[in-house]
Amino acid sequence: MNDSVWAGKILSAQNSDGSWGFFHSMCSISGSKRMTTEQALRRLRKLGFTKEDKVISKALSYIQKCLEGSVFIPDRREKFRDWDVFFSFIFSAWLKLFDAQTPQSEEIALKLGTVVEKAFEQKVFNIGLYLSEFEKRFGVKPHNERNFDFVSFYQVVLLKDILTRQTEQLMLKYILNKDDGIYYIYNKKLSLLPAEFKSLQTVRYLDAVELIAEYRYSSSCLAFVSDWLKHNVQEDGSWDLGAKAKDNINFPISDSWRSSDSRKKDCTTRVNRLMCMIQK
């Protein structure tokens, strides 16, 4: 998909330093229509770009410099004590998503893993143990809600392949039953399936499930999602999330959705990939 119409627009907007302007999607200036670095990377990843592609390697080099502190993002620095820790999670997560970890980013992930292991040592999540271990490992008390709870896009990315089997299983159960889902991705309980299959809500739901499906021991706890997807397969063996699924991040992948066949092809490819992840 490197020559798609969608990719061309993003590639042409990349800055010489590898960024796309502001970094964090939630920190962009209100009213600005220019994409952030995160939005660009998320879209390119959905389009099939990897660290081998020049546009991605250039962006990852920029992120590594940001993590090292030799380059600073243009985003407005917010006034909370754990800002630097929060952004170390962000930078490290994007490096991990593209399989481009550095010793520094791996160290951050291992520290976070130690915090979560401690939080679940009594076989249920203990917020007190989480907060005290967080301060011990990162040198600052969680101050902002983005660090007050580990169930956020970046932390969930970082914890993959870090935890013991028991802790991973406990954590996945905790995430699935959390009332407000995964921060930045999906804000409803993941153990409850979307009411309407052909919807933007389903697209967001699948985003969250894909994160969990990356974990080594996730198959058993996601069997209900696999059953739900099988229930919604069409007679010809395809899946269709409907026109509302066009969110300009996950979809479209094809150059145009004017044809329902192109939409069904994109949706089917995504669902099949997720089914393989769940049934691994």
* Percentage of the chain exceeding pLDDT 70: 95
pLDDT computed for residue 45 by the predictor: 96
- Joined tokens for residue 101: 């970890």
pLDDT computed for residue 28 by the predictor: 42
For 272-277, the CB contacts below 8 A with 24+ separation are 274/206, 274/209, 274/210, 274/213, 274/225, 274/229, 275/226, 275/229, 277/210, 277/213, 277/214
Residue 53 is classified by DSSP as S
How far apart CA 134 and CA 112 sit, in angstroms, is 8
Find the range with the poorest average confidence among 73-82, 234-243, 264-273: 73-82
Q: Would you say residue 16 has pLDDT above 50?
A: yes
**Residue-wise pLDDT tens digits, 123-154:** 999 999 999 999 999 999 887 767 778 999 99
Residue pair 147/134 in contact by the 8 Å Cβ criterion: yes
pLDDT computed for residue 272 by the predictor: 97
Q: Would you say residue 87 has pLDDT above 60?
A: yes
* Percentage of the chain exceeding pLDDT 90: 84
Find the range with the poorest average confidence among 31-40, 93-102, 170-179, 222-231: 31-40
pTM (two decimals): 0.93
Computed over every residue of the chain, the mean pLDDT equals: 93
pLDDT computed for residue 33 by the predictor: 63
**Residue-wise pLDDT tens digits, 235-259:** 999 999 999 999 999 999 998 899 9
Find the range with the poorest average confidence among 86-90, 112-116, 158-162, 276-280: 276-280
pLDDT computed for residue 29 by the predictor: 40
Residue pair 189/146 in contact by the 8 Å Cβ criterion: no
Q: Is residue 237 helix, strand or coil? A: coil
pLDDT computed for residue 219 by the predictor: 96
